Amino acid sequence: MTTFVLATHNQHKVDEFRGILSLEVPGFELITYDGPEPVEDGESFEANALIKARAAAEHTGMPAMADDSGLAVDALQGAPGIFSARWAGEPKSDERNLALVLEQLEQVPHGQRGAAYVCVIAVVYPATETSPATEFTVEARWSGHLVHEPKGSNGFGYDPIFVPEGSDKTSAELEPAQKNALSHRARALALVAEQLKG
């Protein structure tokens, strides 16, 4: 059995990771991180995920996981990207972030509003007496497009304007179980499970 620490203070995220990985990986255990939050000053999802996972591994001495995710909009050259949670500035506000993206896309026609949710998960094993520290990352994308008006009350962030490929509903109109099965985080967790089982 391997116990990992998840570098987040968000219990919902811990539950989501645990729910998916414990089904896929025999003997998998996940605990919540109780240490200090590092400064996320990386310039990519991968860099920020590694910063968080390395900090948790160092603080606890245990194998650690962390994710970093956000929305990449084609017409905004991949923005808001790593700044998705704070796109409209501080304090963080889903409503203001969403409103700003809609404002920035106001003149962009329907066919040019492609976007993808991106999730990178980093896994870090701390050094032991017999082996050096090791780490790996996985990246998954959930592609779709952005609509002009928010729809739906499930989900959060940019979900009310994000329509996944193959769907005519926004992510916020999907049932939570549907969204969790399709999302960028679910796809990234499936890749992590493959690595852990391998």
Hey, which residues are catalytic here?
A: 68
Structural contact between residues 46 and 59, judged by C-beta atoms closer than 8 angstroms: no
Contacts of 34 (CB under 8 A, 6+ apart): none
Q: Where are the alpha helices (DSSP H) in the chain?
A: 11-24, 45-60, 94-104, 176-182, 184-197
Tokens 């704070």, located at residue: 86
Looking at the chain, the number of H-run helices and the number of E-run strands are 5, 6
State the virtual CA torsion across 54, 56, 58, 64 in degrees, nearest 10.
Answer: -70
Q: Quote the CA–CA distance of 111 and 155 in Å, as a whole number.
A: 24
53 backbone φψ class: left, alpha, beta (φ>0; ψ -120 to 50): alpha
- DSSP 8-state assignment for residue 108: S
